[in-house]
Amino acid sequence: MTKSILILDEPTSGLDSFTAHNLVHTLFRLAQGNWLVLLSVHQPRSDIFQLLDLVVLLSSGSAVYCGTARDMVPYFTALGHPCPRYCNPSDFYVDLISIDRRSPDQEARCVERARTLAKQFLEKVQESEDHMWSPSGVASTR
């Protein structure tokens, strides 16, 4: 059976919260069927984040995480970056990997943290066939 592919770049930009959630929920239902849905979403609300199967986080072009959405918090927690209670994981981890350019010192700290996270991720997945992280080291799907 051939899957259809739907690629969307920021489909929720400019939408109100209700409409954005309904759109992603519709895409989620398509993905459960015969569709492969790829979308870039830079700041998904927590209810939208919960609909995602797989997440890729990039910093300066390097992957710092690629795996299931549900495994993202345990992954970063194991690296010493737990998501605070009542905080949206997508917001917290995007902030963690972002480069703050307000001062040279802050930028250097952020770049080093992002490089370290990218290196740690690569070390953890280099033996995996699909370069995705999973708690057991075996490819995981939802």
CB-count exposure of residue 123 (10 Å: 0-12, 13-18, 19+): exposed
Could you read off the pLDDT tens digit of each residue along the chain, which spans 142 residues?
678 999 999 999 999 999 999 999 999 999 998 899 999 998 888 999 999 999 999 999 999 999 999 999 999 999 999 999 999 999 999 999 999 999 999 999 999 999 999 999 999 998 888 888 888 754 444 4
Pairing relationship of beta strands 4-9 and 35-40 according to DSSP bridges:
parallel
For residue 136, the tally of other CB atoms under 10 A from its CB is 6
Give the tokens for residue 31: 């993905």
Q: Three-state DSSP class for 99?
A: coil
Closest among 24, 28, 29 to 45, alpha carbons compared: 24
pTM of the model as a whole: 0.84
The rounded distance, in Å, linking the Cα atoms of 80 and 59 is 18
Output DSSP code: residue 128: S
H or E element, residue 67:
strand 62-68
Contact 38, 30 (CB under 8 A): no
Sequence ranges of the domains in the chain:
1-52, 57-142
